Amino acid sequence: MLDRPNPTPEAPSNDPHALARALSGAHFIGGRFAPATSGRTFAVVNPATGATVAEAADGDAADVEAAVTDAARAQKEWARVPARKRGALVHQAAQLIRAHVEELARLVALETGKALRTESRVEANNVADIFEFFGGLGGEIKGETVPFGPDVLNMTVREPLGVVGAIIPWNIPMMLLALKVAPALVAGNAVVVKSAEEAPLAVLRIAELINRVLPPGVFNLLSGQGPECGAPLVAHPLVKKVTFTGSVETGKIIYRAAADKLIPVTLELGGKSPMIVFADCDFEKTVAGALTSMRFTRQGQSCTAASRIFVERPIFDRFVAEMAKRVDAMVMGDPLDEKTDIGTIISPGQFDKVKTFIDEGKATAGATGRACSAMPTDAALKKGLFIQPHIFTGLTQESRLVREEIFGPVTCIFPFDEAEEVLAAANDTEFGLAASLWTNNLKIAVTFAHRIEAGLVQVNQNLVVQPNLSYGGVKASGLGKEASLESMLEHFTHKKTIMINMA
């Protein structure tokens, strides 16, 4: 047991409410729980019931100073640990996370409203996979010998950057933490993470678990608001790299702040991902794929959600009808209930934003918005932030629902007749994160995959981010890559050239 008013359990716990209370009111700095310097906290609310389930430490510049200073001290020793041993420790941490998968799944379902069976349990398993994957890559942190002359030994080595500041969002907080923290640690950096205000608990538990394995100070986690906690983290002079996932607007602010320090950044900033369906597709597989692609089980709160679906006209009406039928069959309800397919929107602010888009779409002349699935009837959920998934047809390409990222369970479906027409429509967006193509015509698949402006294109599937596959967008969707060996080497190390004159 750690020395806490409500001690966190050593063994996995299947009571998310008790675990939430035990995690209340603390950051994780220097290998231990620590309250905010100011003593302030903010409420963590279950979006399915409206009930406060915990209090989170409300961090500010003083907490950032403590965490970054401790991380900088610890990083010097951590960098001296052989890379393969660092990887082995990260792999050991992965096994500890795997033993706590069910606990983490229940905790993240409680704080985010994501359904346990369809989303939260999947995310928790992915976290363990990511730490395992990067834990095995320690031996790949190597340099090259470069021919220069017979009397000169010329070589390169990879060195860590120092302290990495990571800022994560609320939609898949554990997985995005893993994608930033695991490669940074294996590469020899120390990390300070600022969690999302809406989802600070499960990632705090991960910080505790990982710190059972790692040296104190190598991995620190803060909670707090963006301007008071996130901004000082980005601006701190000892932070030598920033990695951020979130909105385009916040990404631009971080990019400007990082530019003042001339430090590298990785930015994953969202998308408006097209799904293009040709009439020759496997119809049953494609309709099922549309439900997955739209991330309805995550309430559409995904950067890669297929929020623009283009269907070749011969199968358009059939496709829309079948998709609506299948979404209707999905169950909305208590995120911790195994029967639930769809949980809640994360917060009142996001709820109002999504409702505004839906109302605007329904008020658009010529448009049809189909509300799917049934609202939960349980009285305990009457204050929950539940929104029915909506499928819109008849909108124009100029509609805000088509242009802007809604981050809710809303998709817009359009018919098309010509290949060049649909390609132009798919690329007519400021975003370029992901896309999917559904066809049995190999020539079309390959041609379109090359011509679509996106960092990730999938054919006849639309999986979530996978370890070992480079992931990142173009255009306003961001800078840099995640999830791969490339991301670890290019974004968490720098290359040093060493020349030795032996004459």
Q: Both tokens of residue 133?
A: 């994957």
Q: In what order do the strands lie in the sheet with 32-34?
A: 32-34, 27-29, 219-222, 190-194, 163-167, 239-245, 265-268, 478-479
Active site residues: 268
Contacts of 331 (CB under 8 A, 6+ apart): 339, 340, 341, 342, 373
Task: For residue 77, report the phi and psi dihedrals to the nearest 5 degrees.
Answer: -75, -40
User: CB count, 10 Å around CB of 13?
Assistant: 18
Helix (H, G, I), strand (E, B) or coil at 13: coil
Instruction: With beta carbons less than 8 A apart as the criterion, state whether 360 and 401 touch.
Output: yes
Q: Using CA atoms, how far apart are residues 120 and 295, in angstroms rounded to an integer? A: 13
The whole-angstrom distance between residue 208's C-alpha and the CA centroid of its chain comes to 20
Instruction: With beta carbons less than 8 A apart as the criterion, state whether 300 and 406 touch.
Output: yes
User: Taking Cα atoms as reference points, which of 23, 28, 64 lies closest to residue 207?
Assistant: 28
Task: For residue 281, report the phi and psi dihedrals to the nearest 5 degrees.
Answer: -70, 165
User: Taking Cα atoms as reference points, which of 42, 320, 82 lies closest to residue 199?
Assistant: 42
Instruction: With beta carbons less than 8 A apart as the criterion, state whether 241 and 264 touch.
Output: yes
Q: Both tokens of residue 9?
A: 């359990």
Question: Residue type at 119?
Answer: E
Q: How do strand 493-501 and strand 152-160 relate by DSSP bridges?
A: antiparallel
Q: Using CA atoms, how far apart are residues 462 and 286, in angstroms rounded to an integer? A: 10
DSSP letters, 33-59, are: EE--TT--EEEEE-TTT--EEEEEE-B
Instruction: With beta carbons less than 8 A apart as the criterion, state whether 433 and 271 touch.
Output: yes
Instruction: With beta carbons less than 8 A apart as the criterion, state whether 370 and 391 touch.
Output: yes
Instruction: With beta carbons less than 8 A apart as the criterion, state whether 488 and 466 touch.
Output: no
Angle at which helices 121-135 and 173-186 cross, to 10°: 10
**What sign does the CA torsion over 361, 389, 307, 324 have?**
negative
